Each structure stands twice: as structure tokens, then as C-alpha cells.
Amino acid sequence: MISYHTADVDGNRIFYREAGPKTAPSVLLLHGFPTSSHMFRNLIPILAERYHVVAPDLPGFGFSDSPERKKFAYTFENLAQTMDGFTRAVGLNRYAIYVFDYGAPVGLRLALAHPDKVTAIISQNGNAYEEGLSQGWNPIQKYWKEPTAANRAALRDFLTPDATKWQYLHGASDEALVAPESYGLDSFLLSRAGNDEIQLDLFLDYASNVKLYPRFQEYFRTQTPPLLAVWGKNDPFFLPPGAEAFKRDNPRAEVHFVDTGHFALETHHREIASRILDFLERTMLLPAHGA
């Protein structure tokens, strides 16, 4: 059974889903744009048969608080600090991380700060290499280089219901398996007053993640954490070379591809869950090298 809770982190309520025995090893699931912990609804019950699973919504996403931009700077560093505080608030002392999209730079920041706490990494279309960035990033990269009002306004097209639906359906091996409430909920939450500016702030700050790629890669080389990359190979934003690159820096990295797009759990959650359970059974109890 999945239960639903909130935790207070620096005065902000962080919504999270939880399942599985608290005495079991923990797995922290970190979502991406433009979704929430709802994306893990099918995965959580499978993992929870063996593990303690916790899936929070990032600030500004899902059912977590969206503090005003004057009070909370929407940067990936702040998202990571909030998630660090969240793990303390809910008592996660050691945990594996499942990172997707935005969850990757958030989770990898946690790993940099606490290599002794992060026991394993599962990256599902969670990028850490420049070769993983597709041409779909060109408008956002233009905004990084020239943060003008015009370039910011051009990115609003990424926030429309049609764009959200397209992210879910593009590259999916069977569109009939993608639940419409997934992109419907995301679109509804994106439409909240002021949320567009939050998302545009994060588009701009994503450049900070790319600057950290060398540090993430050094972490993979020096700590060699158990790492599973399971990737929707038709992702229009994060390309398969970004998954293959993990093996260049981490000899413990395992890479698998599934025939679907960005939101791979919508169509392949059983296959991905099977990969994860096999991976965790072999690696979860082993600390990262040097931890």
C-alpha cells in the first residue's frame, strides 16, 4: 500500500509517497520536469515488496509547496538542498537514488555532498554528459547564452498542454499504454498561477547542471558507485550516448535501453522494475568504493 504524507523542510511542505517496510533498505525516487511523484505510481508497489520506497515532489511541482520566487530561488542547488533536508526530515540515512530528468542533477548533488549516504544510483533518462543533450535543448541553451526577455518568452511553448502531452507520447512504442491522466495532471499543475515563471527560472538555471557535469563524472570515477542506467532510447531530449557515457567513467555502470521515449515508466514499468530489482539485489548492500 502506498501512503501519502507531507514533511516540513525549512517551512515548506514537501509532499511524498511512501511504501514498503521501513526496516528494509531505502530507495529515494526523484522525478523530473514537468511531472511529480505521480510518475512512479506503477513502480512503487513493485519495489516496495522488497524495499522502503520514498518519492517526494520537488518544490514547485506536484503537491509540494510552491514558495514565492522572492522567498525561494528556484535553482537546482536549492532543490537539492531542500531534498537533503527532506531526507533528514523523514529519516533516510542511507539510500539508493532513482533519478529521472531534473531528478538527476538534484540526486547527483546529494551524492556529491554525501557519498557515504548514497548506496546506488539508478538513472532513467537522467543525464550527466554533454553528449546526452539533444538539439531539443537548443532554445534553452540560447536562453542560457542570452537571457533576454524575448528568449525567455520563447520557452513558454514548452509549458503548454500540447507540449506536455508530446513529451509523454513521443517515441512511445505503444501510445495506448500512456495514461492520459499523467500528462493531464502535469498540465493542470503547470497552469497554476505563477508556476510558469518558476519553470522558466529552472530552464535558465539548468546551465548550472551542465557546468557540474565534470564534477559528476569525477564522482563516478573516484567513488565508482553501483550504477544502473535504463534509458528510453527514443527520448527527444536525452540521447542514448548520455547513457553509454556512464561506462566511460564507472566500470560498475550497467546500461540498458528500452524501446520507448522520455517517460519510459508509462510503457515499460515492469521491465524497468525487473532490471532495478535485479540490480539492487546484487548491489544494494555494497557501499560505494571509498565511502
Average pLDDT over residues 52-77: 98
| pLDDT at residue 288 in the model | 43
What whole-number percentage of the chain has pLDDT above 90? Answer: 97
**Active-site residue list:** 262
Task: Look up residue 167 and give its amino acid.
Answer: Q
Please tell me the pTM assigned to this model: 0.96
**Contact between 18 and 2 (Cβ < 8 Å):** yes
Domains in the chain, CATH or no CATH each: 3-283 (3.40.50.1820)
Average pLDDT over residues 7-22: 97
What is the distance between the alpha carbons of residues 277 and 237, in angstroms, rounded to a whole number?
27
Tens digit of each residue's pLDDT (9 = 90 or more) over 173-199: 999 999 999 999 999 999 999 999 999
| pLDDT at residue 105 in the model | 98
